[in-house]
Amino acid sequence: KLARKKVGWIHSQFNRSLQKLENTVSIVTPYTFLFSVLNLQWSPLMRMRFDHIAHNSNLYYNQLYGGIPSTLGQLQHLNSLDLSSNSLTGSIPSSLTMLRNLEYLDLSRNDLDGTIPSNLKGLQSLRILDLTQNKLTGPIPDSIRYCQNLTVIYAYRNFLNGTINENLGTLSSLQLLGLYYNSLSGRIPKELGKLSALQYLALDGNDLHGELPKELGNLTNLRALYLTANNFNGTLPTTYEHLTNLQVFAVSGNYLSGPIPAYIGKWVNLSDLVLIGNNFSGNLPAETFSLTKLEKLWVSDVNNPGISFPQEVIPEPNSLFSV
């Protein structure tokens, strides 16, 4: 009873305080349980003068539950909305796409379901979009092409399906694209090769197939390429010779074949080379062992004994991982 009285007192005091916040430009309550005892949707927060409230709303780690109020779409001055690491359910309100000043949207680590809103045209200021670890389904919508300021898209560990939208290739500012552990199918669109600013591409753990697009060789700023646990076949394209900034190249668990190209020796920044679980054959190029930053080398397993080491090279045991 005492606990219920305290919660009721907190609720009443908080509501009275909210009524005085007409000119608030920031709401920050991280790492508290405060909002878990409030019904956010019916709070006076949602009935305030929206044109004066909140440039930044950071409500992460607050044990929030229930749906995201559609009325948040009325906060026209909002440039940052972080609702990550709560227990929010339901779909993403389409009203959020009306936030024309929004630059940062983090809805990660909740229990949101449904699809990504189809009309993203209003989010032309958006720079960072994080939808990680929810239960979202469907594809990335075509309207993603309107979000030309995006530098980061994280939507991994969902249930996204369909093909990878080729309109992602129009996002010339994109630096990080993480779509791993979804149910995406089809081929990697060659349009991704136009993302000249891209540094990180993670598509592992999907149901992608076909040959690796040669156009990815244009991504000369790429630092990490994760394509493991898909159904890719064919050989490694010769154009990948130009990926000299790569630090991680992981393609294990596919059906890739042919020789491992000697141009890997030009990837002078490489620290992780993960090739196991494919159908590669021939010698591992001697140039591989001239890579001074190489820390992890996974090259063969019991299902693929076809790779052998050149006789002139004896790899260091502490730097070799061959299962």
Q: For residue 35, what are its two tokens?
A: 């909002």
**Residue 116 above 50 pLDDT?**
yes
Q: What is the DSSP string of 20-45?
A: T-TT--EEE-TT-SGGGGS-GGGSGG
pLDDT tens readout for residues 268-302: 999 999 999 999 998 889 999 999 999 999 987 54
Helix (H, G, I), strand (E, B) or coil at 185: strand
Residue spans of the domains in the chain: they are 23-319
216, two tokens: 């990815």
Query: Kind and range of the H or E element at 106?
Result: strand 104-106
pLDDT number for residue 304: 58
47: tokens are 């009935």
Beta-bridge partners for 298: 274, 321
CATH superfamily of domain region 23-319: Ribonuclease Inhibitor (3.80.10.10)
Q: How confident is the model at residue 61 (pLDDT cuts 50, 70, 90)?
A: confident
Query: What's the pLDDT at 311?
Result: 52
pLDDT (tens digit, 9 = 90+) per residue, 117-127?
999 999 999 99
Question: Quick one: which H or E segment has residue 307?
Answer: strand 307-308
Opening angle at CA 74, ends 61 and 68, nearest 5: 35
Q: Once rounded to an integer, what is the mean pLDDT over residues 207-228?
A: 98
Phi first, then psi, for residue 97 (nearest 5°) are -75, 0
From CA 168, how far away is CA 298, in angstroms rounded?
31
* Distances in whole angstroms, Cα of residue 25 to Cα of each of 22, 38, 48, 112, 155: 9, 21, 13, 27, 29
The DSSP bridge partners found for residue 60 are: none
Of the pLDDT bands very low, low, confident and very high (cuts 50, 70, 90), residue 310 is low
Secondary structure of 221-289 in HEC code, one letter for each residue: CCCEEECCCCEEEECCCHHHHHCCCCCEEECCCCEEEEECCHHHHHCCCCCEEECCCCEEEEECCHHHH
279 touches 299 (CB < 8 A): no
User: What are the tens digits of pLDDT across the range 125-156?
Assistant: 999 999 999 999 999 999 999 999 999 999 99
Q: Do the bridges between strand 128-130 and strand 104-106 make them parallel or antiparallel, or are there none, so unpaired?
A: parallel
Q: Say whether pLDDT at 217 is over 80.
A: yes
In this predicted structure, the answer to whether residue 227 has a pLDDT above a threshold of 60 is: yes
Lowest-confidence region among 60-64, 129-133, 162-166, 219-223: 60-64
pLDDT at 19: 42
CA dist 96 to 72, 111, 180, 182, Å?
A: 7, 17, 25, 24
Q: Sheet holding 135-138: strands in order across?
A: 65-66, 87-90, 111-115, 135-138, 159-163, 183-186, 207-211, 231-234, 255-259, 279-283, 307-308
3-class DSSP state of 153:
strand
